[in-house]
Amino acid sequence: MKKNEMSSMYFIKNEVLYLIPQTFCKSLGNAIIDVDPVLELKLPTSENELYAKLQECFSLCCTHKVKEFPKGLSVMAKYIGAKTEKQVVSKYDFMSLFFDNKLNKYRLIHDWEKEKNYYLNGIMQYVDEKTLLSFILNIIQDKKNITL
């Protein structure tokens, strides 16, 4: 996979993995924001299918240039028809994937817990490229076994 890129991932339990490309917004001092289009991957999936979708998502991260911060709801909120960010957080588990140049590993933040006022706490782990796909699939499998 390409280096220096990032991706957000949301998934509905037992159904679909949504991959959302991210890019830098220059007007906000290169803050990271989500951009269209959202990519879908039906679950369960194989490592090959996941790899292909991640490649597609990462390629979109590189091609988008954002000069101004978009107004309104996030890409995911618009995509699922949510009226507030709280609706997105309450329905979806979240993972975020970055590449760390210094460590030459992927940084995956996952195991988001929904708390009062919808603040999120996550666990950050570093994963090498060889184990990344199986690591993500294991997280998804663990989440699928948890019922709401």
What does the pLDDT look like over 87-132, one tens digit per residue?
777 777 778 888 888 888 888 887 655 544 444 556 778 888 889 9
Number of domains in the chain: 1
Q: Distance (Å, rounded) from C-alpha 119 to C-alpha 125?
A: 20
Tokens for 26, please give them. Answer: 């220059």
pLDDT band at 47 (very low <50, low <70, confident <90, very high): very high
What's the pLDDT score for residue 82? 81
What's the pLDDT score for residue 51? 92
- Quick: pLDDT tens for 132-148: 999 899 888 877 665 43
Q: What angle do CA 17, 108, 146 make, to 5 degrees?
A: 50
Average pLDDT, the chain: 77
Is the pLDDT confidence value at 69 over 50? yes
Q: What angle do CA 99, 104, 110 make, to 5 degrees?
A: 45
Residue identified by tokens 């879908």 is: 40
Residue 1, domain member (yes or no)? no
Residue 71, domain member (yes or no)? yes
Instruction: Look up the CATH number of the domain holding residue 129.
Output: 3.40.1590
Residue 88, domain member (yes or no)? yes
Residue 87, domain member (yes or no)? yes
Q: Distance (Å, rounded) from C-alpha 82 to C-alpha 90?
A: 11
Residue 60 is inside which H or E element, if any?
A: helix 47-63
Residue 91, domain member (yes or no)? yes
Q: Which residues pair with 77 in a beta bridge?
A: none
What's the pLDDT score for residue 134? 92
Residue 94, domain member (yes or no)? yes
Query: Greater confidence, 79 or 105?
Result: 105
Structural domain boundaries, residue 86: 6-144
What's the pLDDT score for residue 119? 45
Percent of the chain with pLDDT over 70: 77
What's the pLDDT score for residue 50? 94
Residue identified by tokens 């996979």 is: 1
What's the pLDDT score for residue 2? 53
Residue 97, domain member (yes or no)? yes
What's the pLDDT score for residue 118? 43
